Amino acid sequence: MTRVYLFKPFERFWHWCQAILIISMLVTGFEVHGTYRLFGFAKAVDYHTIAAWTLVGLWIFAIFWHVTTGEWRHYIPTLKNVAAIANYYSSGIFKDEPHPFRPSLSNKHNPLQRLTYLAVLTLLSPLIWFTGWLYLFYSSWAAWGLGGLRLEWIATGHTLGAFLMLTFLISHLYLSTTGHKLTSQIKAMLTGWEDLGDEAAPGKPH
Total of residues contacting another protein (CB under 8 A): 33
Q: CB under 8 A: which stretch of 9-17, 27-35, 61-69, 105-113 binds another protein?
A: 27-35
Binding another protein (rule: CB under 8 A), the pick from 9, 68, 95, 148 is 95
132-191 residues near another protein, rule: CB under 8 A: 138-139, 150-152, 155-156, 159-160, 162-164, 166-167, 170-171, 173-175, 177
Identify which of residues 9 and 34 has a Cβ nearer to another protein in the complex. Answer: 34
Instruction: Please state the closest distance from residue 39 (CB atom) to another protein, in A.
Output: 11
Bridge partners, 139 (sequence order): none
Task: Give the residue among 162, 173, 167 at the shortest CA–CA distance from 31.
Answer: 162
Between the alpha carbon of residue 197 and those of residues 1, 28, 71, the distances in Å are: 5, 39, 25
Task: Give the residue among 110, 130, 162 at the shortest CA–CA distance from 56.
Answer: 130
Bridge partners, 194 (sequence order): 4
The DSSP secondary structure of 119-133, one letter per residue, reads HIIIIIHHHHHHHHH
Binding interface with another protein (CB under 8 A): 32-34, 37, 40-42, 45, 89, 93-96, 138-139, 150-152, 155-156, 159-160, 162-164, 166-167, 170-171, 173-175, 177
